[in-house]
């Protein structure tokens, strides 16, 4: 139930006076709500939404149209839509019973037609939407989408907001140079760490790296982002087994940066990068067996 108020103004020869405030109640025969099952998102994620329709009136509601704007927002002189309906995911329930089918237009906007809600009963629409290339990904970003239900003499709306996950998203690439070696040669392993998330990896995070060099190396020289590391502090190494371990708290990777094309509106990600370089000698007594 919602309230509404209004007040009138009377003017006479340049003098104005106002009436008392009147208050009324607007009885909502159709109550609509929208809920996101997962309230945070990442790039290419899917969000499950639930639309609930409750009929508080004294007559059944039939042939309703339910429309979801899929998070449409203004951009430049136009609009962008950051969510895409996932085909085949819609489920339609009346009083908890799954119905045989629901008419869906993927859009945008996403439209469900021929929805019915019995007297004193409820209907549910459950579906998934994918985070697409127009979704904001920078820290603090969010997507708010609005749903409306209309038919006959009723019109009701609801909205839901999901926020981008504030987290790192790490990947690693390992390279060897040179790739053809003889006993006694010097080799270099380069570990490129990439962070596609909107939060930096800092010294306060519990982050480590392990590798077993086969064959083992001797005379290790280790640098991280160009800074020389010390064995026993930033890392440990066992020349017998080749086990190399980075101590927790020393690997840091900056957050990604995000840009939105001024023409297309597509959001692109430039990962944050850190580089760990390990150089050592292959002992003359080691058996070289590369995998």
In the chain, the domains with their CATH numbers are 28-164 (2.60.40.740), 170-282 (2.60.40)
Which tokens go with 279? 């150089």
Report in angstroms the alpha-carbon separations of 124 from 80, 94, 119, 153, 177.
27, 7, 15, 20, 59
For 237, residues 6+ apart whose C-beta sits below 8 A from its C-beta are: 220, 231, 243, 244, 245
Report in angstroms the alpha-carbon separations of 237 from 137, 184, 215, 241, 283.
39, 19, 13, 9, 15
Answer yes or no: are the C-beta atoms of 168 and 200 closer than 8 Å. yes
pLDDT for res 12: 66
Give the pLDDT confidence of 208-240 residue by residue, as tens digits: 999 999 999 999 999 999 999 999 999 999 999
pLDDT for res 198: 96
pLDDT, averaged across the chain = 91
């Amino acid at each position: 139930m919602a309230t509404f108020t209004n007040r009138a103004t009377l003017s006479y020869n340049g003098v104005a006076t106002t009436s008392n405030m009147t208050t009324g109640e607007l009885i909502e025969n159709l109550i609509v709500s929208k809920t996101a099952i997962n309230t945070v998102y990442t790039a290419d994620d899917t969000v499950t939404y639930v639309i609930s329709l409750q009929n508080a009136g004294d007559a059944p509601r039939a042939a309703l149209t339910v429309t979801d704007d899929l998070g449409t927002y203004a951009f430049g002189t136009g609009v962008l839509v950051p969510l895409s309906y996932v085909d085949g995911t819609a489920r339609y329930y009346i009083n908890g019973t799954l119905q045989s089918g629901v008419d869906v237009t993927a859009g945008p906007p996403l439209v469900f037609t021929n929805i019915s809600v019995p007297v004193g009963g409820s209907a549910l629409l459950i579906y998934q939407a994918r985070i697409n290339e127009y979704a904001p990904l920078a820290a603090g970003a969010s997507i708010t989408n609005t749903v409306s239900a209309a038919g006959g003499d009723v019109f009701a709306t609801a909205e839901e907001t999901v926020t981008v996950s504030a987290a790192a998203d790490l990947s690693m690439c390992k390279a060897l140079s040179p790739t053809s070696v003889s006993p006694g040669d010097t080799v270099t392993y380069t570990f490129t760490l990439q962070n596609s998330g909107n939060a930096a990896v800092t010294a306060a995070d519990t982050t480590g790296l392990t590798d077993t060099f086969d064959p083992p190396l001797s005379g290790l020289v280790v640098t991280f982002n160009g800074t020389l590391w010390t064995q026993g502090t930033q890392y440990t190494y066992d020349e017998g087994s080749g086990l190399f371990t980075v101590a927790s708290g020393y690997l840091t990777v900056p957050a990604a940066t995000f840009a939105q094309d001024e023409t297309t509106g597509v959001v692109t990600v430039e990962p944050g990068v850190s580089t760990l370089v390990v150089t050592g000698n292959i002992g003359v007594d080691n058996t070289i067996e590369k995998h």
